[in-house]
């Protein structure tokens, strides 16, 4: 159900757009048709404006373009080269600003980030701990120990 159109609004639309409903604002055409279906007075008003539209239609044929102008217009592509598009993905300033901001971020990180030595100092104890743990770990058994072990096992089996 469309919202009813006030008479004043209907008359304002007729006065502006005339009798051709296709020129009217789309949102109001439905309500206008409903009003026209029930009001003879509004139908008469629309018909009067439609008659004036017919008067206007006689002036609807645009004038011929003078031959000299048409020639100038047709020569435009020959005289003015099209501009080359070096960035076909929309406005070029968007990625340019993005790259500039990324570069600025990188430079400021390089200037203000903590120095590399401090990081190295934090890792030094870990290296030392690895070294000391290597010293404390038991030595790997020598080849002789393995031989003895093998022999002992054999003795136990023989016993």
Which residues sit at the interface with another protein, rule CB under 8 A?
12-13, 15-18, 23-26, 48-49, 51-53, 55-56, 58-60, 62-66, 69-70, 72-74, 76-77, 80, 82-83, 85, 88
As measured in angstroms, the least distance from the Cβ of 65 to another protein is: 5
As measured in angstroms, the least distance from the Cβ of 66 to another protein is: 7
Q: Closer CB to another protein, residue 69 or residue 96?
A: 69
As measured in angstroms, the least distance from the Cβ of 93 to another protein is: 15
Burial per residue of 50-62, b for 16 or more beta-carbon CB atoms within 10 angstroms, e otherwise: eeeeeeeeeeeee
Q: Closer CB to another protein, residue 63 or residue 125?
A: 63
Q: Closer CB to another protein, residue 54 or residue 151?
A: 54
As measured in angstroms, the least distance from the Cβ of 99 to another protein is: 23
What distance separates the 2 farthest-apart alpha carbons in the chain?
A: 133
Report yes or no: 34 and 10 within 8 Å, Cβ to Cβ. no
Place of tokens 């089996």: 157
SS (H, E, C) 85-100: CCCCCCCCHHHHHHHH
Q: Closer CB to another protein, residue 77 or residue 121?
A: 77
Place of tokens 């598009």: 85
Where does residue 24 rank: exposed (0-12), middle (13-18), buried (19+ CB within 10 A)?
A: middle
């Amino acid at each position: 159900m469309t919202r009813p159109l006030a008479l004043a609004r209907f008359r304002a639309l007729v006065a502006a757009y005339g009798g051709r409903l296709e020129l009217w604002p789309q949102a109001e055409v439905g309500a206008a048709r409903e009003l026209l279906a029930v009001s003879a007075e509004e139908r008469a008003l629309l018909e009067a404006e439609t008659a004036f539209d017919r008067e206007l239609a006689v002036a609807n044929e645009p004038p011929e373009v003078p031959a000299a102008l048409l020639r100038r217009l047709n020569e435009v592509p020959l005289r003015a080269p099209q501009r080359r598009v070096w960035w076909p993905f929309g406005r070029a300033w968007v990625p340019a600003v993005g790259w500039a901001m990324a570069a600025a971020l990188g430079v400021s990180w390089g200037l203000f980030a903590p120095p590399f030595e401090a990081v190295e100092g934090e890792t030094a104890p870990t290296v030392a701990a690895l070294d000391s743990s290597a010293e404390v770990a038991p030595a790997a058994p020598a080849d002789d120990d393995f031989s003895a072990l093998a022999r002992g096992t054999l003795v136990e089996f023989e016993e």
